[in-house]
Amino acid sequence: MNIVVSLKQTFDTEAKIVLTGGKIDATGVNVVINPYDEFAIEEALKLKEKFGGEVTVVSVGGDKVEASIRTALAMGCDQGVLVNDPTLENVDEWAVAEILAKAVAQIPYDLILAGRIAVDDGSSQVAVRLADSLNLPSVSSILKLDIEGDKATVVREIDGGTETLELSIPAVLTAQKGLNEPRYPSMMGIMKAKKKELKVLTLADLGISAADVASKMSAPKFSLPTPRTAGKKMSGEPAEQAAELAKLLREEAKVI
C-alpha cells in the first residue's frame, strides 16, 4: 500500500512571535514538523509495516523544509517531494491545496494522510481541500484507523463523542492526537535518510504558473495581541480568599 503524507513545517510551539516590517519574522526560530503531521507519518509507517509499500512525504515550502522532510525520512518514510518556488509567498489554503494536488497526482498512492490542523496558521483547511481537489472522500480528525482491502474503518472525533465511519480508499484522512505515539528517528534511520530521494520541484515542474494559484484571500495583515497582565491576588485565610474571589467574580467581573 502506497501512502502519501502531507507535511507542513511549523514554528516550534514555544516560539516567540516577532513582527518585522509587518511580517512574521522567522529569524532564529526553531522549526519542527507540524505536531499533527507527526501522527500522520506514524500512522503511515505502521500501515507500511503491515502491508508493505512506500510512504512519500509531500510539502509546499521553502529551503528550510528539506530538514523536516529528512526527519520524516529518518523516521522511516521512503521519499520526499518538496514544492519550492520563489513565487510562493502569501499563498492561501486554496493555493497550497491545489499545488499539493498537482504534486500528489504524480505519485502512486492508495491513501493520503495529513494533520488535522497546522499549529501555525491554525486553518484546518488544506487537507480537506486537497481531498476535494483530488475528488476523494475525506474524514477529519481521526482517532483510529483500520484498513481491510480497499475499505477503511475510521473513528473520528466529533463534539461530544466519537463517530465511526466506513469508506473506500483512496481517501484523505486527517490525524488527531490520540491516533498513535509518533516514533523518534533512530541513528540508523538518520544515516539511511541521507541517501533517500528528496525531489525539489517548482511550479513549472508541476505544469502550473503562479497565476494559476493566485490566492483567493487578501494578504493577511498581522498584529500582536496586547499582552494580558497579572490581575488581583486574593489575600487572607483560604476561606476568606475563596469568599473574596466568588464575590469579585459575581460583582466585579460579572461572570458567575
Ligand X SMILES: Nc1ncnc2c1ncn2[C@@H]1O[C@H](COP(=O)(O)O)[C@@H](O)[C@H]1O
Ligand Y SMILES: Cc1cc2nc3c(=O)[nH]c(=O)nc-3n(C[C@H](O)[C@H](O)[C@H](O)COP(=O)(O)OP(=O)(O)OC[C@H]3O[C@@H](n4cnc5c(N)ncnc54)[C@H](O)[C@@H]3O)c2cc1C
Asked whether 157 and 164 are in contact (CB, 8 A), the reply is no
Q: Segment 14-73, which members bind ligand X (CB under 6 A)?
A: 34, 36-37, 59-61
Q: How far apart are CA 57 and CA 203, in angstroms?
A: 17
Cα 97 to Cα 95: distance, rounded to the nearest angstrom: 5
Give yes or no for residue 189 binding ligand Y (CB under 6 A). Answer: no
Contact residue for another protein among 125, 144, 189, 192 (CB under 8 A)? 125
State which residue, 190 or 248, has the beta carbon closest to another protein. Answer: 248
For residues 168-196, one letter each, b for 16 or more C-beta atoms within 10 angstroms of the residue's C-beta and e for the rest, the string is ebbbbbbbbeebbebeebeeebeeebeeb
Q: How many other C-beta atoms can be found within 10 angstroms of the C-beta atom of residue 221?
A: 6
Chain residues 80-119 in contact with another protein, contact rule CB under 8 A: 92-94, 97, 119
Do 114 and 138 contact (CB within 8 A), yes or no?
A: no
Residues 204-223 that bind another protein (CB under 8 A): 215-218, 220-223
Strands 198-201 and 3-6: unpaired
Cell numbers given for 137: 472522500
Site residue total, another protein (CB under 8 A): 81
Residue 95 binds ligand X, judged by CB under 6 A: no
| Nearest CA among 12, 75, 46 for reference residue 175 | 46
User: Binder to ligand Y among 15, 24, 35, 157 (CB under 6 A)?
Assistant: 35
**Residue 200 or 210 with smaller CB distance to another protein:** 210
Closest CB 7 distance from ligand X, rounded Å: 5
For ligand X, the closer CB: 54 or 123: 123
Residue numbers of the site for ligand Y (CB under 6 A)? Answer: 13, 35
Residue numbers of the site for ligand X (CB under 6 A)? Answer: 6-8, 34, 36-37, 59-61, 93, 96, 100, 114-115, 117-118, 121, 123-127
